[in-house]
Amino acid sequence: MKFNEFPYNRPDFEAYKQSFNETLKSFTNALDAAEQRSYFRKINELRQAVDSMATLASIRHSIDTNNAFYKEENDYWDEYKPLYAELDSTFYKAVLSSPYLEDFKDWVPEPFFKIAANALKAFDPAIIEELQEENRLVSSYYQLIASAQIELDGKTYTLSQLTPLTQAPDRSLRKRAFEARTKFLAENEVAIDTIYDELVQLRTKIAKKLGFDNYIPLGYLRMNRLDYNQEMVAGYRESVLKNVVPFTQELYQKQAKRIDVDTLAYYDLAYEFKSGNPVPKEDMETLVKAAQGMYQELSAETDAFFGFMQSHELMDLASKKGKQGGGYCTYISDHKAPFIFANFNETAHDVEVLTHEAGHAFQVFQSRWIDVPECQWPTLESCEIHSMSMEYLTWPWMDRFFKEDTAKFKYAHLADALKFLPYGVSVDHFQHEVYAHPEYSPRDRKDAWRRLEKMYTPHKDYTENAFYDQGTFWFTQSHIFANPFYYIDYTLAGVCALQFWKRSQENDPNAFKDYLNICNAGGTLSFLNIVKEANLKSPFDPTCIPEVMVSVKDYLSKVDDQAL
pLDDT in tens, 395-410: 999 999 999 999 999 9
Q: How far apart are CA 279 and CA 271, in angstroms?
A: 12
Compute the average pLDDT of residues 354-380: 97
pLDDT in tens, 481-521: 999 999 999 999 999 999 999 999 999 999 999 999 999 99
Q: Is pLDDT of 326 > 90? A: no
Task: Supply the mean pLDDT for the chain.
Answer: 97
Q: Is pLDDT of 88 > 90? A: yes
Compute the average pLDDT of residues 141-159: 94
Q: How far apart are CA 196 and CA 480, in angstroms?
A: 9
pLDDT in tens, 198-230: 999 999 999 999 999 999 999 999 999 999 999
Domain edges within the chain: 3-134
The pLDDT, as a whole number, for residue 38 is: 97
The contacts found for 45-48 with CB under 8 angstroms, 24 or more apart, are 46/16, 46/19, 46/20, 47/88, 47/91, 47/373, 48/333, 48/334, 48/373
The pLDDT, as a whole number, for residue 218 is: 98
CA angle 174, 175, 179 (to 5 degrees): 120
Q: How far apart are CA 520 and CA 491, in angstroms?
A: 22
Q: Is pLDDT of 325 > 90? A: no
- Residue 316: which of 22, 520, 19, 58 has the closest Cα? 58
* Confidence class for position 70, pLDDT limits 50, 70, 90: very high
- Residue 431: which of 466, 482, 495 has the closest Cα? 482
The pLDDT, as a whole number, for residue 131 is: 97
Q: Is pLDDT of 338 > 90? A: yes
The percentage of the chain sitting over the pLDDT mark of 70, rounded to a whole number, equals 100
pLDDT in tens, 248-270: 999 999 999 999 999 999 999 99
The pLDDT, as a whole number, for residue 399 is: 97
* Confidence class for position 286, pLDDT limits 50, 70, 90: very high
